[in-house]
Amino acid sequence: MTDKPEWMWRHATELRNHWWWRPGWHIGTRFYAFHLAAGDRDELAGLIARYQQAIEGIPGLDIIPREWLHITMQGLAFVDHISPEDLASVVKTSRAALTEVDPFSLVFNRPLIRPEALVLVPEDVRPLNDLRDTVRSAINKAVGQGVIDLGSTDFQPHVSFAYVEADQAAADVLTALEGVQSTATRFRVDEVPLIEMHRDNRMYEWRVLDTFQLSAKH
């Protein structure tokens, strides 16, 4: 038995299409977010590549290219829903707040099947929870408490490596993933990018607007 919540270890048995349109999203939508890029780290990207190779040929899955691998952390606002002045204030307060956070490492290993994506979940999510709380506090400090809807406090951090694009059973996916030999892989978090993202091409793609370094005291 494990004392971890079920979302960290229980596989979904049925998959559903990830690419339905969330409220406010359509072709051409641009959205600001604080997400952690993961594709530029060779060790983690190598682990993910092994899992992606195992599921090649299984229909109904969209493999995520290395350049778009990321840890979803905290959304900010649709581009046309925040003023340039408020965005500048968020940048300023976030930069200051994140200098007070020490870099840390996450450990990834075995994959998890979620209803809409295949993911890796860090073995310890507490550092990411703390990092997200810092960003949320900085946003509220910049624009006022509750002015921007920051979404639920329920945070389930993960790195997706494939999105589901058709409803189907998960049995074949589970069999393929269980055949992969893996070892625990560390991912160093030492910066937080602010990105402008879209999903025009049935993939989350972005450009980096700014990058905030975590403190290097240790």
Residue the block writes with tokens 């900010």: 76
List the structure tokens of 184: 């625990």
CA 106 to chain centroid: 13
Tell which residue, 11, 55, 30, 47, has the closest CA to residue 172. Answer: 55
Q: What is the CATH number of the domain that holds 68?
A: 3.90.1140.10
Residue 5 inside a domain? The answer is: no
Number of domains in the chain: 1
Q: What are phi and psi of 185, to 5 degrees?
A: -125, 135
Residue the block writes with tokens 């709380």: 133
Residue 71 inside a domain? The answer is: yes
Predicted confidence (pLDDT) per residue in 119-134, tens digit: 999 999 999 999 999 9
Predicted confidence (pLDDT) per residue in 149-208, tens digit: 998 888 999 999 999 999 999 999 999 999 999 889 999 999 999 999 999 999 999 999
Residue 60 inside a domain? The answer is: yes
Residue 2 inside a domain? The answer is: no
Domain extent for 201 = 11-17+28-213
Residue 216, pLDDT > 70, answer: no
Tell which residue, 23, 9, 15, 29, has the closest CA to residue 120. Answer: 9
Residue 122 inside a domain? The answer is: yes
Residue 70 inside a domain? The answer is: yes
Residue 4 inside a domain? The answer is: no
Residue 121 inside a domain? The answer is: yes
Question: What's the sign of the alpha-carbon dihedral 173, 176, 179, 185?
Answer: negative
d(C-alpha 122, C-alpha 45), whole Å: 14
